Structure 1
Amino acid sequence: MSVRHALVFGATGHIGRWLVRELLHQGVTVTVAVRTEESFHRLADWLSRHDANGTPVQALVDFSAGDLRLDPASDVFRFVTEIHNVAGAFAFGMNAADAYSANVTSAERVVRFAAELPALTRLVHLSGYRVGGQDPAKVPWDESRRAAEYKRLGAYEGSKVESDAVVQAAALSMGVPFTMVNPATVIGDSVNGESSQLLGLATSVMDLFHGKLPALPGNDRTFVPVVTADYLAAFMALVPIRPEAENASYWVLDDATPPLPELLRMLGKHLNVRVPWLKIPSGLLKRLPPKLTGADPETLSFLSEDRYPTMAALSLAEAHGLRHPPVETALRRWADYLVAAELAASVERVASM
């Protein structure tokens, strides 16, 4: 049995459950902080159906409480060596207060809790490829900056930017060793394409499948990178035991992801559906009214030609035998899963009538 003991926040989400499965496969003792016993039972059922090596221990968490309603002196946490925080709200259209509470306040509370654990050697925080690398020296944000950033970026992305800075600042001030992981769009696992995440790029894929995508967004340089859920889980399970990852940030994404229009054309051909011939540059999309584009304005900032500093993550991963699966194959499997899952849900609804 490994001497590692991981505490996972956000374990019941798309990323969290693949992470828990990976940690269990590596022989790590896992405790999951969940909001309800029902959510824990759903997670345990999912893990049993996915050949996990064991079952985690549950701890009930209340993110609205300053101390998370968790006792750091409890025997449950005495030997915790690493915390993985993948909790938070991924949603567009949130108001600023809700986004701040879900993505900033709760993340800072996790850092404060981590500082109380006697055996802790690493806090791993899930940030994002568009928001990572913030300067902790600029914390705290004043109300005017918060209002301006949340308005400019949207409440979701603005809160993630602030959270990235706040987590680093809090960890540095309290002496908590940390690693920031900045993933791209997390698609399904590389084997079956399984995913429970239906926002962002998944919405575009399903709109394409249903013939509701009027045009291909962006141009041949528009880069919306992806990473498979199982690769990300394996990377996150690796970093707590690597000394070079302490107080470092890693951008985890597949640089071989095709440009967005090419990606959608490929998936349209694979799904045997009509692909729009028209391409609309992202700059024009951002100026058009949402009623015309059908796109949430918050999603349009992701239509970028930017590239990201992936070399450190790639070097660390490849040094330990971790390599990205073929991205086009993974994308096709993911699209197949999304379509099949929607069909299965439709059949289930009809059967229950």
Structure 2
Amino acid sequence: MAKKSAKNSTFNIMIVVQDGRLAYEAALFAASLRHTNPDFAGKLYYAEPMPGPLWKADPRLPQGELRDLLIELGGEFIQFENRVFGQSYPYGNKIEALAAMPKGENFVFFDTDTLITGDLANVPFDFSRPSASLRRENTWPQLELYGPGYGATWKSLYDKFDLDFDSALDLNHPDEYWRRYPYYNAGYFFYKCPQQFGVRFLEYAKAIRDDAPPELICQVLDPWLDQVALPLVIHSFGGGKHTLPRGLLDGDISCHYRMLPLLYAREGTHVVDLLEEITAPNKLKKVLKGSNVIKRMIYQGRGHKTRDLFDQNDLPRKEQAIRNRIKKAGFWMR
């Protein structure tokens, strides 16, 4: 078991909440946090985008049972404005929301489609050395036959922001193998100050979107922009890939399941058991049934039918193959 880091024992958590699927996922997240970390010393913040010119409709979660449940589960709503992204790139919420977090306080951001499955006190965060999730596939960049390789593509970004590229490489992997290069999943990340991190994250993401290096001319940045900018931000603050022990976040202590059909298909039995335990109380069930996905996957048994399609000890290597099998069986939902 990892040792608790005494000097960094208190931190806040931020997730993004808005009307629709994210709000129901937030309830699952908050219920799991409350269940596994009843003595959590920090605050859980629900960052909520405010309506404005960058949204076609009001993105806020309306007053009602679901909002009341989220508050009852121990979280606090905070509001932020979208000045750069919004409707055109909702993944940018996780970037712009950082401005609403308390300045100078340790934080961990999680995507809402995450469950906290163990004691966060056992994660030895060093908040002065940020990092992010390594549970990812080689989704970016997508190489063209005659285009630049992984090395040239990533180096162009490091050069753009005057960052040392060579020190970001994982030399355990060979040239032009994607794991050699600094790519993360943005499902979680952490640092000692959300506002410092957010300012730089926004600066880098906007600069890449508006003025990408020539090496990116054939690359698609939607939805990958946050994950393209994130390694640069982490590196600029002295962080890197391995500032946390493996097997804790995205392991024994958190699970970024992405979508409920994928959770049932590929996650461990302890994750499924936790999900069904935290959603069993009638007070939660009454509200959570407002999500058709939760109602059918958890309460009507579609999740276990999905699970029966797979041997969890011998899963397809690619997520797309898992998705395709679920879709073929008619069990896919999102």
TM-score range relative to shorter protein = 0.3 to 0.5
Higher relative contact order (CA 8 A, sep 6+): 2
Q: TM-score, normalised by structure 1?
A: 0.35
